[in-house]
Amino acid sequence: MRNWAIIFLVFSGTAAFSQFQVATLQFGENLPQATLLNPGIAPDHKIVIGLPGISSAFVEVTAPLSFNDLWKSDGNRFVLNENGIAENAGRIMRTGAVADVQLLVAGFKVSSGFMMVSIRNRFENKVFIPGEVARWAVFGPADPISSNTLLLDEIGAIGINYLEYGISYSQPVTANLRMGARLKYLSGVAGISGSQDGYVYVNSDSASINVSNLEYTIAGSSIFEGNAKASDIYASGNSGFGMDLGMVFKVNSDVTVSASVTDLGFINWKNDLKGYKSEDASYSFSGFELTDLFFGETEDMEAELDTLIDKLEPREVPGSSFRTGLNGKLNFSARYRLAEISEVGFTFNSAFDKGKIDPVVSLNHNLKLGRSFFLLTGLSYLNGKVNNISGGLIVKPGPIQFYFISDRVNSFFYPSRARSVNLRFGMNIVIGRPTIL
C-alpha cells in the first residue's frame, strides 16, 4: 500500500484555478512587486531591497465547493446540502494551491532604465477530479442525478515546486513607451507527470473496474520520502528557463496602459526520479452477503480486497525524464487619472490552464496620498459572476514600505461562501525617487 499512499499524497496535496492578481498589477510603479506581473513597469524608486522571506509572500487556495455548497442548517445543526453538491460539483472539479515567496529582491536605477534581480520559491499544485466522485459520495451511482460510469482519465494532477532566479530590465523606447523583459533560470525541486485510462462502472448488481496505462514519475522523490539533502533542493539538476515580456505606454498625461505575457517557459525533470506503474487490470465485484458482515465473517471481503489491491498496486520502476511547461499568463491594464490623488483602472487577466482560458475582468479605484499611502478597491468578473472584491493597502512611513493585497477580500468576510482566497503581503526597503516614465 505504500506506493498508493505516495500517489494519493501527491494527488490530494492541498485544496486557482483562475489565479489572478489584478490589484498588485494596478498598483503599478508604486509597488515593486508589480514588476513580477509586468517587467515593463519601473518602480518609482531609485533603489529597492527586499529582505529574504518577508519582501513578498503570495498564496492562493481554491476548492470546487464552498462550505455552504456542502452543508446547510436545518435550524439545529448542519446537514449535508445534497442539492448544493449536485448543482455545483460540475463535470470536472478543480482544486489547487499556489504559493510564491520572494527569497531575495534587489532593484536599482541604471541611467534611464531600471534593473531588478530576484530569487523566488514557487509552488503550484492542481488536482482534477470528476464531479461524479462527489455525486457518488452523496447520492450513489444508481441515483438518476449521477452517472454510473466514472472515467479515470479525467483524474489528474499538476504539481511543481521550483526556484526561480530572475533578472529584469526595463528601458524607455520613446518618450511615452517603456518596454522590459525578465530572463529566468528555473531549478526544479519537485514535480509529477503521468496519466491513466480506464473506468469504474457500477449498476444494481455489480461493480467493475478497468485500469490501463497507469504510469507516473515523481521528480524530487527524496523530498516526498523525507530524506532530502540541501543539494536536492538548491542544486537538483532539474533545470529550465523562462521569460516575461512587458510594456507600459503613456497615452497622455492622464491615461496609461500596460500589457505583459509572463511565465513563458519550461522545466526539464531528469534527476532524483522515481516511477510507478500498474499492470492493466480488470476487476468485477458482485457484493457480499449482509448476514456475513453481521456475524463477523469477513474472510471473503478481505480476500476480495486483497485481490483488488494485488491487481492495482503499482510497482516501482525507473523514472523517465519529462518536461513541464509553466502556466503562462496574459495581463492588460489601463489607468485614468481623475485627480491628483485619484485614479480609476481596468484590468484584464487570463491564465492558460490545460488549454482552458480563465479570463478575469476588473474595475478598480486607487486613492493616493502623496508617496506614503495608497488604497485600492475593486470588483472583478470571473466565471460568469461579479463576486470578487479586490483590496490593497500600501503604507510607507519613511524608507520602509508595507503592503497587504487580496483579490478576494469578500472571502475573509464571508468564509462560508468562499471557494477561493488569496493574499499578498510583505515589506520593501525603498529609497529615492527617479524621474522616469
pLDDT of residue 12: 35
CA distance 321 to 331: 32
pLDDT of residue 15: 33
Task: Band the pLDDT of 384: cuts 50, 70, 90.
Answer: confident
Q: For 306-319, how does the pLDDT look when each residue is reduced to its tens digit (9 = 90+)?
A: 776 777 777 888 88
Q: pLDDT tens digits, residue range 214-266?
A: 888 888 877 766 676 766 677 778 899 999 999 999 999 999 999 999 999 99
**Grid coordinates of 322:** 519529462
pLDDT digits (tens, 9 = 90+) for 88-135: 887 778 888 899 999 999 999 998 899 999 999 999 888 888 888 888
Q: What is residue 17's predicted lDDT score, i.e. its pLDDT?
A: 41
Calpha distance 332→25 (Å, rounded)? 9
- Beta-bridge partner residues of 363: 346, 379
**In the predicted model, what is the mean pLDDT of the chain?**
83
Residue 433: pLDDT over 60? yes
Cell digits for 207?
461493480
> Containing H/E element for 396?
none
Which residues, other chains included, contact 129 with Cβ-Cβ below 8 Å and sequence gap of 6+?
A: 92, 93, 95, 154, 155
Can you say how many angstroms the Cα of residue 352 is from the centroid of all Cα atoms in its chain? 12
The confidence score (pLDDT) of residue 357 equals: 66
Q: Are 41 and 29 in contact (CB under 8 A)?
A: yes
Domain 2-431, second-level architecture:
Beta Barrel (2.40)
